[in-house]
Structure 1
């Protein structure tokens, strides 16, 4: 059974209950920001981060303290949810808190045009499930800001998943210097002006501190 398959999720109650329960018990939901996440907060606070395009949907950048102004969640986020019928937004934490009472969450928003009857639409997390499109404007914003940047850093990505990986050649074509920080090699290493094959938890905070110091 697939947790992130939109067709299965919509198909029946049992699949939705399984998906919600699995997500609540998964390491993704219970994860906490690490040193690398906190380093990116420091970079933003220094006024040196204009785009944080991430394929991770764990909401750790938000938890760490990066702002919505710079974060682009290319594959959505588990931090928020919405009603698939009326589009009411929910904090996923609130849904998870009452999952034992309501294992198949539905929207309780009262609709004025229906005499205050509840919407009763299906609620899902804002993670992009298989079969769904990426969030509107996510790639366009990423391309636009990446091509205008002084530098582009690729942190911990194999650069094998598209369309996210295409940000690198697009930025390179615009003449933006590229740093790739990843333990393994990637198909776009030849486009990088700097390659860092070190533990991100150590290497990224170091790079952030050096960059801030150089630009004071």
Structure 2
């Protein structure tokens, strides 16, 4: 660890200590250490298996079949993923009471796997660990969905009402979930320290939360491997791997 990185981590630790309410906000970068590929790295498998836009998914049975094929291809790539040091660091901050919840753009369920309760994970883009009927809302286990898909080659329909079954993620063109957006806004407006972690901060409306927090008086910290459009406005930027930075918050047994 370089002297400059050690100094930045020490500054971050002081900011967390002095904060009344810390808001966490995570993007794909926190999960790359877990083996989950991000969208923008060169050669990303997401570019070969792009999510199907919502309107196309609704209109075409063929598109629904292709969407499930791509979904299961990606699931197989990171089926053994486990929470990273970054996830565990945030779980410790939540357990300590300093961070009420974490807002995430991720769909991998690794925050919950790190020990954070569902009620403390605000998922802006849904969750890819289950499926749901778009008509009646019934949840469907992905193992059932996959078995039906592999047996018949068709996109499964709801066991209850026959409606279209879709992964629990929010697709391009699909409306943002109202309750998580309200929860994210409330946490953003109540915090005095906002940690933006592993996000490119270019996907809106989610990327609006960091600046909203800062305009409301909170300090803004950005932790990311790459430059983001908000770096110049942030109170602290740590351009480094996330694991070594957040591992300093992991509670010792």
If the length of structure 1 is used for normalisation, what is the TM-score? 0.83
Question: Of the candidates 57, 67, 70, which is equivalent to residue 19 of structure 1?
Answer: 67
Q: What is the SS of the residue equivalent to 2:212?
A: helix
| Equivalent-residue separation in structure 2 for 1:205 and 1:146 (angstroms) | 24
TM-aligned CA deviation for residue 172 of structure 1: 0.6
What is the match of residue 157 of structure 2?
106
What is the match of residue 115 of structure 1?
none
User: Relative contact order: is structure 1 or structure 2 higher (C-alpha 8 Å, sep ≥ 6)?
Assistant: 2
After superposing on structure 2, the runs of 4+ consecutive aligned residues of structure 1 that deviate more than 6 Å are none
| Equivalent-residue separation in structure 2 for 1:60 and 1:170 (angstroms) | 26
What is the match of residue 187 of structure 2?
145
What is the match of residue 9 of structure 1?
57
Q: Aligned pair 1:163/2:213, yes or no?
A: no
If the length of structure 2 is used for normalisation, what is the TM-score? 0.72
TM-aligned CA deviation for residue 19 of structure 1: 1.0
| Equivalent-residue separation in structure 1 for 2:216 and 2:184 (angstroms) | 13
Q: Say whether the 8 Å CA contact 2:107–2:126 is kept in structure 1.
A: yes
Question: Of the candidates 24, 43, 52, which is equivalent to residue 93 of structure 2?
Answer: 43
Q: If each structure's helix is expressed as a fraction of its own residues, which one has the higher value?
A: 2
What is the match of residue 56 of structure 1?
106
Q: What is the SS of the residue equivalent to 1:99?
A: helix
CA deviation string 1:167-211 (max 9, x = no partner): 1111111111121101222222233222111111211212x24xx
Q: Sort the Cα spacing of 1:93 and 1:174 in 2 relative to 1 into closer, same or farther, 3 A.
A: farther
Unaligned runs of 5+ in 2: 1-48
Q: Aligned pair 1:32/2:73, yes or no?
A: no
TM-aligned CA deviation for residue 8 of structure 1: 2.0
Unaligned runs of 5+ in 1: 110-118
**Number of corresponding residues:** 201
What is the match of residue 237 of structure 2?
195
Q: Sort the Cα spacing of 1:66 and 1:94 in 2 relative to 1 into closer, same or farther, 3 A.
A: farther
| Equivalent-residue separation in structure 1 for 2:149 and 2:202 (angstroms) | 35
What is the match of residue 75 of structure 1?
125
What is the match of residue 185 of structure 1?
227
Q: What is the SS of the residue equivalent to 1:39?
A: helix
| Equivalent-residue separation in structure 2 for 1:203 and 1:13 (angstroms) | 45
| Equivalent-residue separation in structure 2 for 1:46 and 1:70 (angstroms) | 13
RMSD of equivalent CA atoms = 2.2
Q: What is the SS of the residue equivalent to 2:89?
A: helix
